[in-house]
Amino acid sequence: MRQSQLFTKTRKEAPKDEVAKNAQLLIRAGYIYKEMAGVYAYMPLGLRVMNNIIRVIREEMDAIGGQEIFLTALQDKKVWEKTGRWSESVLDIWFKSELKNGSQVGLGITHEEPVTNLMRDYIHSYRDLPRYAYQFQTKFRNEERAKSGIMRSREFIMKDLYSFSKDQKEHDVFYEKAKQAYVKIFQRLGLGERTYVTFASGGSFSKYSHEFQTVTDAGEDLVYVHEGKKIAVNKEVLTDEVLKDLGVKREDLVEKKAVEVGNIFSLGTKFSDAYELCFVSEDGTKKPVIMGSYGIGPGRVMGTIVETLSDANGIVWPEEVAPFRLHLVSLGKPGSDAEKAAVDLYSELSKLGVEVLFDDRDLRPGEKFADSDLIGIPLRAVISDKTLAMGGALELKERKTGAVSMVTKEELKNRLMR
């Protein structure tokens, strides 16, 4: 993409009513547009980042046997009444509306109910199990507070996977696979060092559920971290019994603020009982399906990356999620040899399939460098009259470390093609 053709522009200041760092930087860099409190549109750069995060999650869900679906955002009142969760006294964050025939509908806040209801058409025998269905779907939640940018919004994309198993043993095996897949996802997304498998309440279904908490001052949760075991305990379940179960001592835990970027739950038969989702076992008896749910919010992950990995100059994207592999900056005047060399290199890299943001704008070097730091692409290559005079070399800068080196065009290509 040529930066001169990018319709979004960088900004020196964020909107005065925006207090979250992630939203401030993402708005200033042109990644998102604030429609209203808790509601954001994703611009070309932001959508590329979102799609990269989704790609990583999708690859790891497919690797453990997930089958992707796409459920409806409009929800039938009758489906939700079976579990009681249509009631405002149970769930008070619904957005509800009426159809012209007078019947009520809601905008989906989660999808346990509809996916369980749907699976009654597809699960009848033990031969139909296990099954793992997941989606990337827009959720709508009428949150009272929406002050954390894209980390807590009223409209957002959620990856939700639902597992359907014959018995507890089969469920437990998959639950552990999902847990390890989540660990791998956050490692690939650049949050592995800061993200802890966190023990939380399992409700009435199991002793524990597991949250994935990323340590950041922007977090709303308090967790107690054991660095040696790379685990944490949510403040809500920090008891002597839990410490004994985990084999840790209270004095070995450090209190930290964190944001929940993912969670996994055992659901038992709560939903399958409500919808009579059963199967005929090998011995001919009828049994309820054992379920689990597994969620990650790609937008919340994106905001968390910005909160934790940015610096004083702007965003610092990990390679897996960056909108482009390279930010190519031309400092040549129109018609100069430097400009021609930059255009030629951009064309060559594009033909090789390398995703490049080419800053071909007629601006001062300082403005271009400031924008480059704000946008946060991992590598920046600069072509100028000065670099051409050095035998055609390029000035290569790593956004994360600030390290600068002079490389040839071929050395750059080799690095980008790894």
Angstrom distance (rounded) from CA 246 to CA 207: 12
Q: By percentage, how much of the chain surpasses pLDDT 90?
A: 91
State residue 132's pLDDT score: 98
For residue range 129-166, what is the model confidence (pLDDT) as tens digits? Answer: 999 999 999 999 998 877 789 998 999 999 999 999 99
SS3 state at 266: strand
Q: Are 221 and 234 in contact (CB under 8 A)?
A: yes
Quickly state the pLDDT bin for 370 (edges 50, 70, 90): very high
pLDDT surpasses 90 at 15 = no
221: β partners = 258
Q: Which helix (H) or strand (E) holds 105?
A: strand 104-107
Quickly state the pLDDT bin for 410 (edges 50, 70, 90): very high
Q: By percentage, how much of the chain surpasses pLDDT 70?
A: 100
SS3 state at 212: strand
Q: Is 0.75 topped by the overall pTM?
A: yes
SS3 state at 238: coil
* Fold equal for 3-309 and 326-416: no
Structural class in CATH, domain 3-309: alpha beta
State residue 372's pLDDT score: 98
Quickly state the pLDDT bin for 392 (edges 50, 70, 90): confident
- By CB atoms closer than 10 A (0-12, 13-18, 19+), residue 418 is exposed
Q: 326-416 falls under which CATH superfamily?
A: Anticodon-binding domain (3.40.50.800)
For residue range 313-327, what is the model confidence (pLDDT) as tens digits? Answer: 999 999 999 999 999
State residue 203's pLDDT score: 81
Angstrom distance (rounded) from CA 197 to CA 208: 12
Q: Which helix (H) or strand (E) holds 306?
A: helix 298-309
Angstrom distance (rounded) from CA 50 to CA 330: 27
Angstrom distance (rounded) from CA 189 to CA 318: 7
Q: Which residues 6+ apart lie within 8 Å of 232 measured at CB?
A: 196, 197, 198, 199, 213, 223, 224, 225, 226, 253, 256, 258
State residue 126's pLDDT score: 98
Q: Which residues 6+ apart lie within 8 Å of 384 measured at CB?
A: 330, 331, 332, 338, 365, 395
Q: Which helix (H) or strand (E) holds 108?
A: none
pLDDT surpasses 90 at 418 = no
In the chain, where are the structural domains located? 3-309, 326-416
For residue range 83-121, what is the model confidence (pLDDT) as tens digits? Answer: 999 999 999 999 999 999 999 999 999 999 999 999 999
Query: DSSP state, 289?
Result: P
Q: Which residues 6+ apart lie within 8 Å of 378 measured at CB?
A: 316, 317, 318, 319, 322, 325, 398, 399, 400
State residue 206's pLDDT score: 84
Could you tell me the CA-to-CA distances from 187 to 37, 195, 347 in Å, in that order? 31, 8, 33
Query: Could you tell me the two tokens for 387?
Result: 């670099």
